[in-house]
Amino acid sequence: MTARTHPLAIERAAQSKLASIDLNNLQFGRTFTDHMLVATYDEDRWQDVRIQPYGNLSISPSISALHYGQAVFEGMKAYKNAAGQALLFRPHANHARINQSAARLCMPPIPEEVFIDGLVELVRLDSDWIPTQPGSALYLRPIYFASEESVGLRPSARYTFAVIACPVASYYAEPVKLTVTRDYVRAFAGGTGAAKAAGNYAASLLADREAKARGFDNVLWLDGKEQRYIEECGTMNVFFTIGDRVVTPALSGSILPGITRDSLLKLLPTMGVEVEERAIEIDEIADAYRAGTLREAFGAGTAATIAHIASIQYDDLTIELPPVADRPYAPKLSEAMAELKTGRRSDEFGWIVRV
């Protein structure tokens, strides 16, 4: 057996908090498991990889992530199969994406041994926390940030990587109401829109708050240059069914390359459904709605899973989507994804990692 380049130390929590948690009544992102993974990059190498009881990290007010936003993150989920075995969904895709995000923000890559092996060990240790009711999962949140104590503007020489875990129910309990904003943009060509950078989410908060004050659940972002093409929702990528064809915005460089998005692009053809990645004008969706050919709209994300879109407010037009029961593909896709993730459907794409 070869020695690990990055040995993993494990300190177990003295007592589990699980008995005090109601896994049938969860608010998204509020409940954390007993353990977390933490690793440090310093002196040009990864070191001190450990699992320890969930708790505060000690950081200095001078760490550069707090000043200049050199911080990225991931979202992924673990499920249980009928035999009670923990399953991770596409963790290698998250590993690849965090390293793409890191590269955009001048951060060093995280080795597979630290990311994947660390996650597997964390999920193994906290596997009793994986909820099993339909729609629920153990949400894993890898965070990666600059932790050098310096306010000089340059890439940090020190970084902290951590993974925390929360049992969650569905992010959206009901079909979502979206509004198109003309006042703000999320991202633009050459920016950081395709990275899972913490700053992208901070930049979306004001538009999101204003949308919520007007009774919407979320913003549907248009492109940053012409405000003409549909991009994404911030919490999820978007898909539309026009006639028999499913369409989703192509990865333009300013859209997050969602792992659920990618999974649906691979799954749809196996269901005999034609799917296109291309530029989609918001006016095309409005025209399809007026012509009666817009049959459904849905979001796709790790937290959101497949979220049915109830309506889209666009200037003076409210696009009302049909009742969920009448939608052609999204309900079937949702079921197929749930079956895959919980081992009830054969893993034809090799997406599942058993813990």
Q: Which stretch binds ligand COI (CB under 6 A): 91-99, 142-150, 207-215, 302-310?
A: 302-310
Annotate 301-312 with DSSP letters as a single string: ETTTEEEEEEEE
Per-residue x/- track, 22-61, ligand COI (CB under 6 A) = ----------------------------------------
Minimum distance between the CB of residue 34 and ligand COI, rounded to whole angstroms? Answer: 21
Would you say 156 or 260 has its CB closer to ligand COI? 260
Q: Which stretch binds ligand COI (CB under 6 A): 89-97, 151-159, 266-274, 295-303?
A: 295-303
For ligand COI, the binding residues in 304-323 under the rule CB under 6 A are 304
- Quick check: 335 and 200 in contact, CB under 8 A? no
Minimum distance between the CB of residue 126 and ligand COI, rounded to whole angstroms? Answer: 18
Picking from 179, 174, 80, 97, the residue whose alpha carbon sits closest to that of residue 132 is: 80
As a whole number of Å, the CA-based R_g of the chain is: 21
- Whole-angstrom Cα distance, residue 77 to residue 139? 5
Return phi, psi of residue 316, to 5°.
Answer: -90, 0
Would you say 166 or 230 has its CB closer to ligand COI? 166
Tell me which residue has its CB nearest to ligand COI. 75
Would you say 80 or 196 has its CB closer to ligand COI? 196
- Write the CB contacts of 111 (distance below 8 Å, at least 6 apart in sequence): 5, 6, 46
- Write the CB contacts of 68 (distance below 8 Å, at least 6 apart in sequence): 146, 153
Picking from 256, 54, 236, 23, the residue whose alpha carbon sits closest to that of residue 138 is: 23
Query: Binding to ligand COI by residue 165, rule CB under 6 A?
Result: no
Query: Binding to ligand COI by residue 303, rule CB under 6 A?
Result: yes
- Whole-angstrom Cα distance, residue 279 to residue 285? 12
Among 35, 37, 75, 87, binds ligand COI (CB under 6 A): 75
Task: Count the residues of the shown chain that bind ligand COI, applying the rule CB under 6 A.
Answer: 6
Residue 118 corresponds to which amino acid? G
Query: Binding to ligand COI by residue 191, rule CB under 6 A?
Result: no
- Whole-angstrom Cα distance, residue 294 to residue 243? 7
How many degrees, rounded to 5, is the angle at CA 51 between CA 167 and CA 121?
65
- Whole-angstrom Cα distance, residue 327 to residue 298? 10
Minimum distance between the CB of residue 29 and ligand COI, rounded to whole angstroms? Answer: 7
How many degrees, rounded to 5, is the angle at CA 78 between CA 73 and CA 80?
175
Minimum distance between the CB of residue 99 and ligand COI, rounded to whole angstroms? Answer: 16
Query: Binding to ligand COI by residue 91, rule CB under 6 A?
Result: no
Among 70, 302, 313, 342, binds ligand COI (CB under 6 A): 302
Q: Which stretch binds ligand COI (CB under 6 A): 3-11, 158-166, 179-187, 301-309?
A: 301-309
Would you say 120 or 304 has its CB closer to ligand COI? 304
Picking from 33, 103, 147, 93, the residue whose alpha carbon sits closest to that of residue 260 is: 93
Residue written as tokens 């692009």? 265
Among 136, 186, 301, 310, binds ligand COI (CB under 6 A): 301
Query: Binding to ligand COI by residue 179, rule CB under 6 A?
Result: no
Would you say 305 or 342 has its CB closer to ligand COI? 305
Query: Binding to ligand COI by residue 204, rule CB under 6 A?
Result: no
The helix (H) or strand (E) run that includes residue 238 is: strand 237-242
Per-residue x/- track, 107-146, ligand COI (CB under 6 A) = ----------------------------------------
3-state DSSP call for residue 119? Answer: helix
Query: Binding to ligand COI by residue 167, rule CB under 6 A?
Result: no
Would you say 223 or 232 has its CB closer to ligand COI? 232
- Whole-angstrom Cα distance, residue 149 to residue 12? 29
Q: Is the dihedral of CA 186, 188, 194, 199 positive or negative?
A: negative
Binding site for ligand COI (CB under 6 A): 75, 235, 301-304
